[in-house]
Structure 1
Amino acid sequence: MPVSYVTEEQRESYGRYNGPPSSDDLARYFHLDDADRVYIARRRGHANRLGIALQLTTLRYLGAFLDDPLDLPSLVLSTVAKQLGITDTDPSLHGYRTGELRWDHQSDIRRHCGFVEITEPSVGFRLGRWLYALCWTGTERPSVLFERATAWLLTHKVLLPGRSTLERFVARVKSRVEEHLWRRLGTSLSDEQRERLERLLTVPAGSRNSHLDQLRSGPVRVSGPSLIQALTRLQVVRELGIELPTVAHLPASRVTALARFAGAAKASAVSRLPDIRRLATLVAFVHCLEATAHDDAVEVLEMLLRDVFATARKEDRKTRLRTLKDLDRAATLLADACQVVLDTTLPDKTLRKTLFAKVPRDILARALQEVSNLVRPPDDVFYSELSERYRRIRRFLPFVLENLRFGASPAGEAVVAAYEWLRTHPGRFKVDDDVPREVIRKRWQRYAVREDGSIDHRAYTFCVLDELYTSLRRRDVFVAPSWKYADPRAGLLNGNEWETARPIICRTLGLSPTPSPTLLAITKELDDTYRAVASRLPDNPAVRFEGTNELVVSSLDKLEEPASLLALRTAVNARLPRVDIEEILLEIAARTGFTDAFTHLTERSARAADLPISICAVLLAEASNTGFEPLIRSDMAALKRSRLSWVDQNYFRNDTITPANAILVAAQNRLVLAQQWGGGEVASADGMRFVVPVRTVHAAANPKYFGRERGVTWYNLISDQFSGLNDITVPGTLRDSLILLGVVLEQPTELQPTQIMTDTGAYSDVVFGLFRLLGYRFCPRLADVGGTRFWRIDAQADYGDLNAVARQRVNMPLIEQQWDDILRLVGSLKLGCVSANGIMRTLQIGDRPTRLAQALAEFGRIEKTLHTLTYIDDEAKRRGTLTQLNRGEGRHSVARAIFHGKRGELRQRYQEGQEDQLGALGLVLNMVVLWNTIYMEAALDQLRQEGFPVRDEDVARLSPLTHDHINMLGRYSFAVPEAVARGELRPLRNPDDGEDD
């Protein structure tokens, strides 16, 4: 590993002042207490007393002495001198700076304060052991380890060594950890296993790809053969027989990092690694690949089953339409017969004779039989159409039964039992076979169970597959190992761990360990809100009742833009410099240093020259969807095709894109203009759709958004400062409520929004409940308030006109019964022990909810009612929600302009590639927003200096989501003016000089 890995900022701040200390640091490190004053007073002369005081406080603050004891900020000098009553301009201080006495003072101060050298054996051992534990359990970059080692030395009063000494120390510890991990991974391998792993790097005769490349390639089609191929791949991985030694003692994060390298690097690069590292990398890759192969196979199975059942349902509708005439004719005959039967004037003795005279017996019998054949029950499973697809099922089902094993929660145990029965009984059932029947729900009874009580093999198979598909979607059934289809409940806090965490969770979230205090408080809040809204209802012109007490809320009128706002917007936009988009990336990189977050996959290769240029070029290639071609320049090493391909392969992944985005969000948050738009407490979530025209299993159909193609949804969380905080890519148009909580909880920026606004698609009682319990306020836009249910707790309370709509009552006893499980769930979510997306799948299940899901929904109904009441009562809240959602729409418009290549279609086959490309788009979007905000702030300052009337209320309505001044097309130069490279701003445009300036 290279030793020179620290950043420029770390070099400048290590053991020296990097600007004046903050007020808190001055109070903590530079205050002289009575003991300090007694110690300092022993020295004679103002220069000696002030000099030793400065060295004493500097050691406390920096952990090191300065070569020049007076090379410090003037604020520090004046603060210390003032406490001693000494003038900081005393000329005798210059003698102390060059005198030999300062060295004696350093030794004396070190003894007085108890500081030791790192060369002492006990210090080096303790620091090495501490760093070793950090490296073993985590994957922090060396620069982060250097920072943490520096903090450890300060805490333990160890004099900071030279920077290069500490760098080498950290590098040696990290190398020892890696070598130890490599040895552990390769310890239990037999000679045969070593040979199998080495063969992965060879290229078979007649092929262009190595075995490693073939294993890394997942399925791209949803079909029976594709599923069989995915299961064969899973079988090949299992046959390698690679198991981690003492898995519990190997850090999963480090094993995953090794596997990620093998999954992204070329086979030739892996083969060139040293033997011990190469074997360890392949072991980690195969171990993690089993989970990936599991996910790919189950995902294709899930989509294939969905396709089978959806196609059968569609054919059933077509068949029904073709037989409607026959059904109508037969039903008409039966209606005629019923009229005769219902005629009370006919005597019973002549009823049959009269009936058959009107409708002959044989015709009536045929009509009855025809109706019986054509009528479908409400929950019909269209079995006749399914049965015709049994041959398709039989082609892949044996491979599924042979290679996939499922675990289950209590709700999925019947499904797994039936699946295991199919696996162990591949032939047809006998009458006396003890077939698991708990899986046969009511709608399948008529098909799966014959009249004599025996089981119809074909119908039973479809029944099991139908329930398996449903249970997989709910995660009642899961596989292991897996990333996507693992048991979402596995990480829930339990036992002593939960008992220890409960008080902390309750204090953090403001909840009571017992249900009564929290429920009494929210009951009072609901009652007070009802009464307050009801009292203002007569004076609220936007709310009225129509028909049978249907609540109607009038649409918001367009908010007029005053002339001052229009003039200000025009003046600001006219001054924004014209710029090429690649220059924005380079300028923001120079201002924020976000490219430092992009580290090599292994952290063992030196950073190349002009790497920020290459990173910005790859970002632009991904975000613009044009590929590398418009950016390649043979005369610049940083823009050669080989360099861009190397950077794309080794530097771009989720764990580098995420910290880079956090840097951009923090930079936006520091701008005064962004603070005028919002303080970061509000965020909105919305999805942007992309057509995916290539063959892939990571896209789904929705004719409304994708036409005849398939596509994905890029779901974004956007702050009130216009910056994107987090995003997730999902196939098709998955219901927003399933992914919203994960997007909010897992966003890693310094902004922590507590009010989350969405469109109506994220509406859910469970989401309302979880957001309230986790300390957020869920504020969706309500498109149809009239269809919203209002819930109450006190059945006897009088809420005036609202009594007409407040008819449903919350089941409070159920919430009380499930309170501890509710706390355990939200605590596990808050601590990140479980995946929010997985948990949401188990809670949003509709027809068969668990008691916990029911209790969360009941709690959510209270919060939903509170939101609805304040929503209809407060026009400012309705308008604020709409404004924030419009910001998201505007941001998506800029994204469309940036993502212009290949007709704006996303052409990545694999989910990781989709996430990385859209993550790059999110970064470039944030850079455009940040650049616009910086120059808008400069333009406003100039306008104020010119005497232009700039009103704060108009500034708050400006938007950085403009791009007319940005050139996004053509070939890109990747060069910025020298002044901009030094950190200066570009000159603003003069609107009087013409359009082309």
Structure 2
Amino acid sequence: MPVEFLTDDEAAAFGRYAGTVSQADLERVFFLDDEDRALVDRRRGEHMKLGFSLQLVTVRWLGTFLEDPLDVPVAVLDFVAEQLGVADASQVKRYTERAKTKLDHQWEIRQVYGLQEFPAAEAELRAWVAARSWTTGDGPKAIFTDAAGSLRERQVLLPGVSTLARLVAQVRDDITKRLWGVLEGLLGVGQRYVLDQLLEVAPGSRVSDLERWRKGPAPRGSGPTMIKALDQVAEVVRLGTAELGAEALVPPRRLAELAKYGMSADASQLRRHGAGRRLATLLATVRFLEAKSVDDTLELLELLMATELLNKAQTAANKETVRRHPKLAKASARLAVAVEALFDSDGWGGEDEEPRVVEVWEAIEAIVSRAELRAALVVVNDSVPPADADPDDWRSELVGRYTTVSGFLKLLPKVIEFGANAEGAAILAAMKRGQPT
């Protein structure tokens, strides 16, 4: 195995036919056009024409010549033989009787089709691998595969599998070390010390600060949990890593890659790394934790407002509604009796004659007294909002419960640096004053 990131099977398949070739690929890559046929027709004998054609389509497909030019799938042999009008493809075996023939044909194909040897393109490939590694942080196997594809597209003959694999591994490692160096170079002496201290377990503590930050506060909508979340934001922000400008110097994917490792690796494992990798990982992880702790805090505030403000206001309003319900039902029944008597009075007296008020009252008071009606009217007026009022009575409870979250709203802008456009500036100012918006 040339290098550790390739398996034995992957290394053995490099620059070789692997599996079958589809009909679509046969027609796209293995088709011999007029220029190809003119070159092929210079050969004498069908076995020479067939062997030369196989070398031509093989280097076009694989990006390299085979040690045994006849080591091709049967489908490729038959497709090429059919194009040449060769009825018996087995006669191609005669092509390798003279060893110098295949080398002469390879040289001719290089010259006619402008194929480059790898050494001439090595510097350019190194630059390509370096740019890819710096920008994406992709693994060596992915870069190796794409590097081989890039060479084929540029008509550069592939080197040996060990040569290409070592190049990719070396350049990628160099770029990774350069990345660590850039991030480490942003840190002052004090910041290096503080970051390293994140891995240590302080006296009286059970875990390191890094582990505590990674775990974060419990997702509960309570005041104490909110205080812990805000304290963590303040701790992380206090390190001042945002002012270093790492995001402007290092691609976001590389920072994310380091932070992902820093969020999962044990403190003991991080301590074993060299200073460059350790500090770069800690810096990227702290930058990630700063954003994560702010997001977690805002989510906790949302949860707190839902549990302590909205839900409890709704519950209080519902309880009050239930409490009023028996009284409201009794009062409504009394008023209904009075209204029914009023309607029944229609038609009293003679034709076109309105009933006298005293008669209506006598009819009503026979069922319910005036005092009871006044009391019922008071209950209904107190319990039922006006017709044009907001039907969501629970909203009135919000004002009374606002003090449970107003302190946190006032504290948020002091801990978290918010930005605001012209429309949001008033809301941000209200938050700083602890006033409802």
Same fold (TM over 0.5): yes
1:399 to 394, 411, 414: 411
Deviation of the 1:185 alpha carbon? 2.3
Matches within 5 A, 1:748-767: none
Counterpart Cα distance in 1 of 2:300 and 2:307:
10
Letter paired with 1:318: K
Deviation of the 1:48 alpha carbon? 3.6
Bigger strand fraction: 1
Counterpart Cα distance in 2 of 1:365 and 1:139:
81
Deviation of the 1:293 alpha carbon? 1.1
Counterpart Cα distance in 2 of 1:212 and 1:160:
47
Corresponding residue of 1:200: 198
Show CA shifts across 1:846-876 (max 9, x none).
xxxxxxxxxxxxxxxxxxxxxxxxxxxxxxx
Corresponding residue of 2:426: 417
Deviation of the 1:166 alpha carbon? 0.8
Residues 354, 88 of structure 1: CA spacing in aligned structure 2 closer, same or farther, 3 A cutoff?
closer
Residues 130, 340 of structure 1: CA spacing in aligned structure 2 closer, same or farther, 3 A cutoff?
same
Corresponding residue of 1:375: 384
8 Å Cα contact 2:409-2:431 kept in structure 1: no
Corresponding residue of 2:3: 3
8 Å Cα contact 1:238-1:290 kept in structure 2: yes
Show CA shifts across 1:921-946 (max 9, x none).
xxxxxxxxxxxxxxxxxxxxxxxxxx
8 Å Cα contact 1:228-1:399 kept in structure 2: no
Corresponding residue of 1:49: 49
Deviation of the 1:60 alpha carbon? 0.9
Counterpart Cα distance in 2 of 1:53 and 1:380:
84
Deviation of the 1:389 alpha carbon? 4.2
Letter paired with 2:165: E
Counterpart Cα distance in 1 of 2:71 and 2:400:
87
8 Å Cα contact 2:55-2:69 kept in structure 1: yes
8 Å Cα contact 2:148-2:158 kept in structure 1: yes
Corresponding residue of 1:328: 329
Corresponding residue of 1:88: 89
Letter paired with 2:414: E
Counterpart Cα distance in 2 of 1:382 and 1:104:
92
Residues 367, 406 of structure 1: CA spacing in aligned structure 2 closer, same or farther, 3 A cutoff?
farther
Show CA shifts across 1:878-912 (max 9, x none).
xxxxxxxxxxxxxxxxxxxxxxxxxxxxxxxxxxx
Deviation of the 1:114 alpha carbon? 0.8
Deviation of the 1:347 alpha carbon? 4.9
Corresponding residue of 2:118: 118
Corresponding residue of 1:210: 208
Asked if residue 231 in structure 1 is aligned to residue 230 in structure 2, the reply is: yes
Counterpart Cα distance in 1 of 2:97 and 2:204:
76
Matches within 5 A, 1:514-663: none
8 Å Cα contact 1:215-1:233 kept in structure 2: yes
Matches within 5 A, 1:129-140: 129-140=127-138
Question: % of aligned pairs identical?
Answer: 37
Corresponding residue of 1:587: none
Residue 16 of structure 1 aligns to a residue whose secondary structure is coil
Counterpart Cα distance in 2 of 1:397 and 1:181:
40
Show CA shifts across 1:192-216 (max 9, x none).
2222211111111122211110110
Letter paired with 2:216: G
Letter paired with 1:256: A
Residue 90 of structure 1 aligns to a residue whose secondary structure is helix
Show CA shifts across 1:369-425 (max 9, x none).
433332255532425655664554356444345335666799xx57x73453131x2
Corresponding residue of 1:240: 239
8 Å Cα contact 2:410-2:431 kept in structure 1: no
Counterpart Cα distance in 1 of 2:76 and 2:396:
86
Counterpart Cα distance in 2 of 1:105 and 1:57:
13
Counterpart Cα distance in 2 of 1:371 and 1:48:
108
Bigger helix fraction: 2
8 Å Cα contact 1:340-1:351 kept in structure 2: yes
Corresponding residue of 2:351: none
8 Å Cα contact 1:14-1:163 kept in structure 2: yes
Letter paired with 1:326: K
Counterpart Cα distance in 1 of 2:355 and 2:176:
97
8 Å Cα contact 1:69-1:97 kept in structure 2: no
Letter paired with 1:325: P
Residues 372, 40 of structure 1: CA spacing in aligned structure 2 closer, same or farther, 3 A cutoff?
same
Show CA shifts across 1:515-561 (max 9, x none).
xxxxxxxxxxxxxxxxxxxxxxxxxxxxxxxxxxxxxxxxxxxxxxx
Show CA shifts across 1:21-43 (max 9, x none).
22122223322233223323334
Counterpart Cα distance in 1 of 2:374 and 2:71:
108
8 Å Cα contact 1:139-1:253 kept in structure 2: yes
Corresponding residue of 2:174: 176
Deviation of the 1:70 alpha carbon? 1.4
8 Å Cα contact 1:337-1:359 kept in structure 2: no
Residue 90 of structure 2 aligns to a residue whose secondary structure is coil
Residues 387, 27 of structure 1: CA spacing in aligned structure 2 closer, same or farther, 3 A cutoff?
closer
Show CA shifts across 1:189-245 (max 9, x none).
232222221111111112221111011012323322112211211121111111252
Residues 282, 69 of structure 1: CA spacing in aligned structure 2 closer, same or farther, 3 A cutoff?
same
Asked if residue 157 in structure 1 is aligned to residue 155 in structure 2, the reply is: yes
Letter paired with 2:257: A
Residues 140, 226 of structure 1: CA spacing in aligned structure 2 closer, same or farther, 3 A cutoff?
same
Residues 174, 320 of structure 1: CA spacing in aligned structure 2 closer, same or farther, 3 A cutoff?
same
Counterpart Cα distance in 2 of 1:269 and 1:24:
50
Counterpart Cα distance in 1 of 2:27 and 2:428:
68
Letter paired with 1:253: R
Letter paired with 2:394: F
Counterpart Cα distance in 2 of 1:74 and 1:49:
17
8 Å Cα contact 1:17-1:73 kept in structure 2: yes
Q: Return 5+ residue gaps in structure 1 as ranges.
A: 427-459, 465-997
Larger CA deviation: 54-63 vs 103-112: 103-112
Counterpart Cα distance in 1 of 2:197 and 2:246:
25
Show CA shifts across 1:31-72 (max 9, x none).
223322332333444444333222122111111011111122
Counterpart Cα distance in 1 of 2:359 and 2:185:
95
Letter paired with 1:371: V
Counterpart Cα distance in 1 of 2:160 and 2:382:
89
Q: Return 5+ residue gaps in structure 2 as ranges.
A: 347-353
Letter paired with 2:274: P
Residues 307, 113 of structure 1: CA spacing in aligned structure 2 closer, same or farther, 3 A cutoff?
same
Counterpart Cα distance in 1 of 2:395 and 2:27:
78
Counterpart Cα distance in 2 of 1:404 and 1:146:
44
Corresponding residue of 1:222: 221
Counterpart Cα distance in 2 of 1:283 and 1:299:
24
Matches within 5 A, 1:36-75: 36-75=36-75
2:186 to 188, 197, 200: 188
Counterpart Cα distance in 2 of 1:97 and 1:305:
86
8 Å Cα contact 2:317-2:393 kept in structure 1: no
Residues 173, 318 of structure 1: CA spacing in aligned structure 2 closer, same or farther, 3 A cutoff?
same
Counterpart Cα distance in 2 of 1:271 and 1:206:
21
Counterpart Cα distance in 2 of 1:212 and 1:384:
44
Letter paired with 1:112: V
Counterpart Cα distance in 2 of 1:231 and 1:346:
73
Corresponding residue of 1:976: none
Matches within 5 A, 1:88-107: 88-90=89-91, 93-94=93-94, 96=96, 99-107=99-107
Show CA shifts across 1:665-701 (max 9, x none).
xxxxxxxxxxxxxxxxxxxxxxxxxxxxxxxxxxxxx
Letter paired with 2:329: D
Residue 421 of structure 1 aligns to a residue whose secondary structure is helix
Letter paired with 2:169: A
Letter paired with 1:84: L
Residues 186, 354 of structure 1: CA spacing in aligned structure 2 closer, same or farther, 3 A cutoff?
farther
8 Å Cα contact 2:262-2:281 kept in structure 1: yes
